[in-house]
Structure 1
Amino acid sequence: MKKRSLMIAGHPTSVTLEEPFWDVLKELAAAENIAVNALVERIDASRTGNLSSAIRVYVLEACRRPSGVARV
Structure 2
Amino acid sequence: MSDTPGPSGDPARLAKRSVLVAGHHTSLTLEDLFWNALRNIARERGLSINALVTEIDAGRTGNLSSAVRVFVLQQVSATRD
Taking structure 2 as the reference length, what is the TM-score of the superposition?
A: 0.80
Gaps of 5+ in 2: 1-13
Residues 19-71 of structure 1, C-alpha deviation per residue, up to 9 Å, x if partnerless? 00000000000000110000000000000000000000000000100378xxx
The structure 2 residue matched to 1:36, chosen from 32, 43, 49, is 49
Measured on the aligned residues, the alpha-carbon RMSD in Å equals: 1.4
Map of 2:32 onto structure 1: 19
Taking structure 1 as the reference length, what is the TM-score of the superposition?
A: 0.90
The percentage of counterpart residues that share the same residue type is 50
AA in 1 matched with 2:76: C
Q: Does 1:50 align with 2:63?
A: yes
